[in-house]
Amino acid sequence: MSGYAFPETLVSTDWVEKHTVDPKVRVVEVDVDTSAYGEGHVPGAIAWAWNKQLCDTIRRDILPQDAFERLMEESGIGNDTTVILYGDNNNWFAAWAFWQLKIYGHKDVRLMNGGRNKWIEEGRELTTDVPKTPDAQYRASKPDLSLRTILPQVQDAINRGGVPLVDVRSPKEFTGEILAPPGLPETCQRGGHIPYARNIPWSKACNDDGTFRSIDDLRRVYASEGIDGTKPIVAYCRIGERSSHTWFVLKYLLGFQNVSNYDGSWTEWGNLVGAPVEKGTTAAVN
């Protein structure tokens, strides 16, 4: 993990194995497939359901501050707790959780490099025991909204002639050939991408085993599309979790200062009446 801008935000599976009973550490599994935790998980880990516990369940939004504080306390997490996040799909929703913890100012939150799949493939211990969590008190910071981009900001940026938007979906979603990843529900009316967006799929940041690529590889991947940290960057995908993954890479591994996540993403833009949409091919980024 050498060379990353903030290497302390990433831990190895080996590190996690040594800290599963550390009272200062809380390990949390956040999966796309919310039933995966029940099959077997890292000893001592609890689970958060992205679709029930990490969002406002009435309106489409991130967790309100009071609900966030309640979740932390119910999870046995205090302001000084080291939170380790991991999950399936190479940490897509673990990164989504990471993003929300940073919005609410949690100091020490880290991703387990490689996620759930790496832990399993390394033959590490799994359990179905659900741990009891200790009492905790939590006070969130005022939300840091610089980490988030909302619709009017994207519209304004386009009207002013463009913004470095990074669309991290697959090329077929970007071009408009498909409306959602194969096998997932189509949740938008139109296919394509936001004007000016560059297509750099989230997976370009990962090795085959799900760990993040080296700092030199990451610099090359993003620089080849003009993303070098000299301008503000907005990442988006379909619902905001894959773009959280890329947001993490750009902000904490590459160290770019002005990076935000447009979590409304394509399910917002692709359903807007009158919104400009571009379709077409994309250059492959290696």
Partner 1 sequence: MKAEEHSTRTLKLGEWEVRLRSYKLGDTYHCTADNVEPGAWIARAQGATKEEAENRASQRARKLLGRTRRKPHGLR
In the bound complex, what is the minimum distance in angstroms from residue 125's beta carbon to partner 1? Answer: 6
Instruction: Answer yes or no whether residue 177 interacts with partner 1 by CB under 8 A.
Output: yes
Inter-axis angle of helices 241-248 and 88-103, nearest 10: 80
Q: Could you tell me which of 14, 6, 1, 41 has the C-alpha nearest to residue 259?
A: 6
Instruction: Answer yes or no whether residue 146 interacts with partner 1 by CB under 8 A.
Output: no
Instruction: Answer yes or no whether residue 45 interacts with partner 1 by CB under 8 A.
Output: no
User: Pick from 1, 7, 12, 32: which binds partner 1 (CB under 8 A)?
Assistant: 32
Say how far apart CA 50 and CA 102 lie, in whole Å: 16
User: Pick from 77, 84, 111, 120: which binds partner 1 (CB under 8 A)?
Assistant: 120
In the bound complex, what is the minimum distance in angstroms from residue 40's beta carbon to partner 1? Answer: 6
User: Pick from 191, 229, 264, 270: which binds partner 1 (CB under 8 A)?
Assistant: 191
Do the bridges between strand 233-236 and strand 259-261 make them parallel or antiparallel, or are there none, so unpaired? parallel
Q: What is the DSSP letter of 148?
A: B
Instruction: Answer yes or no whether residue 209 interacts with partner 1 by CB under 8 A.
Output: no
In the bound complex, what is the minimum distance in angstroms from residue 61's beta carbon to partner 1? Answer: 23
Instruction: Answer yes or no whether residue 166 interacts with partner 1 by CB under 8 A.
Output: no
Give the CA angle between residues 102, 143, 68 to the nearest 5°: 75
Instruction: Answer yes or no whether residue 236 interacts with partner 1 by CB under 8 A.
Output: no
What is the H or E stretch that residue 51 is in? none
What radius of gyration do the chain's Cα atoms show? Answer: 18
User: Pick from 64, 70, 79, 124: which binds partner 1 (CB under 8 A)?
Assistant: 124
Sheet containing 165-167: order of strands: 198-199, 165-167, 233-236, 259-261
Torsion of CA 51, 56, 61, 66, to 10 degrees: -130
What's the length of the chain? Answer: 286
Among the residue ranges 122-130, 139-147, 211-219, 246-254, the one whose residues contact partner 1 (CB under 8 A): 122-130
User: Pick from 181, 196, 258, 285: which binds partner 1 (CB under 8 A)?
Assistant: 181
Catalytic residues: 237
| 158, 234 Cβ separation under 8 angstroms | no
Instruction: Answer yes or no whether residue 40 interacts with partner 1 by CB under 8 A.
Output: yes
The residue with tokens 């096998």 is: 183
How big is the site for partner 1, counted in residues (CB under 8 A)? 44
For partner 1, the closer CB: 35 or 159: 35
Using CB under 8 A as the criterion, which residues of the chain lie in contact with partner 1 when the complex forms? 31-33, 35-36, 39-40, 88-90, 117, 120-121, 123-127, 169-173, 175-186, 191-192, 201-203, 242, 279-281
